[in-house]
Amino acid sequence: AQSVTQLDSHVSVSEGTPVLLRCNYSSSYSPSLFWYVQHPNKGLQLLLKYTSAATLVKGINGFEAEFKKSETSFHLTKPSAHMSDAAEYFCVVRNTGFQKLVFGTGTRLLVSP
């Protein structure tokens, strides 16, 4: 069965510095991988998705992620953090054969001035 592991429960950065949120996946097949963001008291918004096309995926708000099969990783990055990026980020894999999404435990990103 597919699964994802988010390696950090919390990440703290200063505004203007790079962001790295780590995610490793486990999948027997070529996976579909996603990053979703959840702002406080808000729903889930899709940041970006990987569906076996380009391994470097660009998303909204300057975020991108690179699919590395050899490392089974799908880390999320952003060159320069903004205060509005403070939120919970979920790495997600889609269960092949079904359409259900399997969520990681989430990484809370804290951005300080």
Partner 1 sequence: DSGVTQTPKHLITATGQRVTLRCSPRSGDLSVYWYQQSLDQGLQFLIHYYNGEERAKGNILERFSAQQFPDLHSELNLSSLELGDSALYFCASSPRVLAGRETQYFGPGTRLLVL
Residues that bind partner 1 (CB under 8 A): 32, 34, 36, 42-46, 49, 51-52, 90, 94, 98-103, 105-106
Backbone angles phi, psi at 75, to 5 degrees: -75, 145
Min dist CB 83 to partner 1, Å, is 22
Nearest residue (CB) to partner 1, 13 versus 27: 27
Nearest residue (CB) to partner 1, 59 versus 62: 59
Please report, in angstroms and rounded to a whole number, the separation of the first and last CA atoms in the chain.
Answer: 41
Min dist CB 86 to partner 1, Å, is 19
**In the structure encoding, which two tokens stand for residue 113, read together?**
């001035």
Nearest residue (CB) to partner 1, 69 versus 100: 100
**Widest pairwise Cα distance in the chain:** 45
Look-up of token digits 């988010």: 6
**In the structure encoding, which two tokens stand for residue 14, read together?**
């200063």
